[in-house]
């Protein structure tokens, strides 16, 4: 280990920054965020750094560096383009026992700046010892996806109760078990869901030994249209902590594999007129599992509130007093259209967009066709493969031009994506000539013609 990671307390301590450019500004801002008092020394200083150095007790010295500038400082940053000067500053600082960082010169440093994930008071620092700073930043970016911003609030809540818990539980092992339960249970989830007062109430009860038997919780999570990279950070976190997963047919296998390995997985998928588990049974199963104290993930393709029956499910949860969270997902219209290179709105072609289900609750395709005739409106039909001929016929019959561009997208956003483009007049025949399977999405409107210019993602399948 070339460097021992330590966290330096700099509140109200003087830090010398030699240099007046962009790099010096970045370091100065970070130091100011840590509460340091700055002494900036440089013959020329850029405006925003000059402004920062002029605030509060900070000092700005518009001249060259002098050895006396090190007097009384706790840390020194050399951020100039003058390599001999940087080397001299490093030598003098180390002779005085003052920590020094020379930007982009690890051999001259006694301390280095890590890549930082700031969830104050929780701080995560990543370093490559100065050998590969870009790699350190990439690792930091990965950690950013694992640690929600609300972890800082969770740490702050723990800080508030820390002394009280230490007084009640003098044994270190007891405290460790106590806090592990807090950070992985209902209290933490309340914080992550933005329910800070509820989290504080539960922790107060837990400290008092009066917390009730934990009731489970349901996570209603949108899995997006298929590409795992389109999951939200929050969705991934809940997927990896749920005890039970109930998933639909439209959830891609690659996404299901991201769930916690030891979680129970229950398939409750539906196809047109072939429901493996009726909706009312799914609703009841969510309630039953949650009352058993389990964390239940209800994983749905796309967004759970757009033709996903998510509203029906949480209605039952609310009626039964079951805690739940809803995590939006990228709906198929947005995801598939974007991957197909078809903007749903465009100033020159479409000023509105309408999402329509391809079949209704009773299996029919009886839609308000007269409302779909405006040429400046993009129509997106979910689950429209079987009803495609009727959809096109009815749109033409009610006044939409037969030459209106139309597209059908199969398995959008995945490597198996296929896009078929044509018009209302010929799209059904074109699709019938190919072996097309759900899930599919149908887009109708002038924006479809932009695909020829804007297509950027190509799946493994040929397109027509």
Assign 3-class secondary structure to 136-181. Answer: HHHHHHHHHHHCCCCHHHHHHHHHHHHHHHHHHCCCHHHHHHHHHH
Catalytic residue from among 248, 280, 294, 361: 248
Under a CB-based contact definition with an 8 Å cutoff, are residues 49 and 24 in contact?
A: yes
Q: What are phi and psi of 303, to 5 degrees?
A: -110, 135
On whether 112 is known to bind a ligand per the annotation, the reply is no
- Looking only at Cα atoms, what is the longest distance across the chain? 88
DSSP 26-56: HHHHHHHHTTPEEEEE-SS--HHHHHHHTST
Give strand pairing partners of 326. 220
On whether 383 is known to bind a ligand per the annotation, the reply is yes
On whether 43 is known to bind a ligand per the annotation, the reply is yes
Under a CB-based contact definition with an 8 Å cutoff, are residues 429 and 423 in contact?
A: no
On whether 71 is known to bind a ligand per the annotation, the reply is no
On whether 23 is known to bind a ligand per the annotation, the reply is yes
On whether 302 is known to bind a ligand per the annotation, the reply is yes
108 token code pair: 């001259």
Under a CB-based contact definition with an 8 Å cutoff, are residues 419 and 427 in contact?
A: no
CA distances from 121 to 160, 162, 383 (A): 12, 13, 47
Active-site residue flag, 270: yes
On whether 189 is known to bind a ligand per the annotation, the reply is no
Catalytic residue from among 82, 181, 195, 270: 270
DSSP 203-266: HHHHHTT-PPPPP-EEEEEE-BSS-GGGS-HHHHHHHTT-SEEEE-TTS-HHHHTTS-TTSEEE
Under a CB-based contact definition with an 8 Å cutoff, are residues 269 and 278 in contact?
A: no
Under a CB-based contact definition with an 8 Å cutoff, are residues 45 and 20 in contact?
A: yes
Active-site residue flag, 166: no
On whether 304 is known to bind a ligand per the annotation, the reply is no
On whether 22 is known to bind a ligand per the annotation, the reply is yes
Round to whole Å and give the CA distance between 226 and 232. 13
Under a CB-based contact definition with an 8 Å cutoff, are residues 464 and 430 in contact?
A: yes
For helices 151-168 and 172-184, angle between their N-to-C axes, nearest 10 degrees: 150
Round to whole Å and give the CA distance between 292 and 331. 31
Active-site amino acid positions: 248, 270
Provide the annotated binding site for S-adenosyl-L-methionine.
225, 301-303, 306, 331-332, 383, 412
Provide the annotated binding site for NAD(+).
22-23, 43-44
Provide the annotated binding site.
22-23, 43-44, 225, 301-303, 306, 331-332, 383, 412
């Amino acid at each position: 280990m070339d460097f021992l990671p330590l966290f330096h307390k700099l509140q109200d301590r003087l830090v010398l920054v030699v240099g007046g450019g962009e790099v010096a500004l970045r370091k100065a801002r970070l130091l100011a965020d840590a509460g340091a008092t700055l002494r900036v020394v440089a013959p020329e200083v850029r405006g925003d750094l000059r402004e920062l150095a002029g605030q509060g007790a900070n000092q700005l010295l518009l001249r060259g560096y002098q050895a006396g500038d090190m007097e009384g400082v706790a840390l020194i940053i050399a951020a100039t383009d003058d390599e001999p000067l940087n080397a001299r500053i490093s030598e003098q600082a180390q002779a005085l026992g003052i920590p020094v960082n020379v930007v982009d010169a690890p051999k001259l440093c006694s301390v280095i700046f890590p890549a930082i994930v700031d969830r104050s008071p929780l701080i995560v620092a990543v370093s490559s010892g100065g050998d590969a700073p870009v790699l350190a930043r990439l690792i930091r970016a990965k950690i950013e996806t694992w640690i929600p911003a609300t972890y800082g609030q969770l740490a702050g809540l723990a800080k508030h109760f820390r002394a009280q818990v230490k007084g009640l539980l003098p044994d270190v092992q007891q405290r460790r078990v106590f806090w592990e339960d807090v950070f992985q249970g209902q209290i933490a989830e309340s914080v992550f869901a933005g329910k800070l007062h509820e989290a504080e109430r539960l922790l107060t009860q837990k400290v008092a030994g009066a917390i009730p038997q934990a009731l489970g919780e349901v996570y209603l999570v949108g899995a997006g249209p298929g590409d795992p990279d389109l999951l939200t950070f929050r969705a991934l976190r809940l997927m990896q902590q749920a005890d039970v997963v109930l998933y639909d047919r439209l959830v891609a296998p690659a996404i299901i594999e991201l769930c916690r390995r030891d979680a129970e997985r229950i398939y409750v998928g539906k196809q047109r007129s072939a429901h493996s588990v009726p909706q009312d049974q799914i609703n009841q199963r969510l309630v039953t599992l949650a009352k058993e104290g389990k964390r239940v993930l209800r994983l749905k393709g796309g967004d759970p509130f757009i033709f996903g029956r998510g509203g029906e499910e949480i209605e039952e949860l609310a009626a039964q007093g079951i805690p739940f969270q809803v995590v939006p997902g990228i709906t198929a219209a947005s995801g598939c259209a974007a991957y197909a290179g078809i903007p749903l709105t465009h100033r020159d072609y479409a000023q509105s967009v309408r999402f329509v289900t391809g079949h209704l609750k009773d299996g029919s395709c009886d839609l308000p066709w007269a409302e779909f005739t405006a040429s400046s409106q993009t129509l997106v039909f979910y689950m429209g493969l079987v009803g495609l001929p009727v959809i096109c016929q009815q749109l033409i019959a009610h006044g939409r031009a037969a030459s209106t561009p139309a597209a059908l997208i199969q398995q959008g956003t995945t490597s198996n994506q296929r896009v078929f483009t044509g018009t209302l007049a010929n799209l059904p025949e074109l699709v019938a000539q190919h072996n097309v399977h759900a899930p599919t999405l149908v887009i109708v409107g002038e924006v479809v013609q932009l695909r020829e210019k804007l297509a950027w993602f190509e799946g493994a399948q040929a397109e027509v």
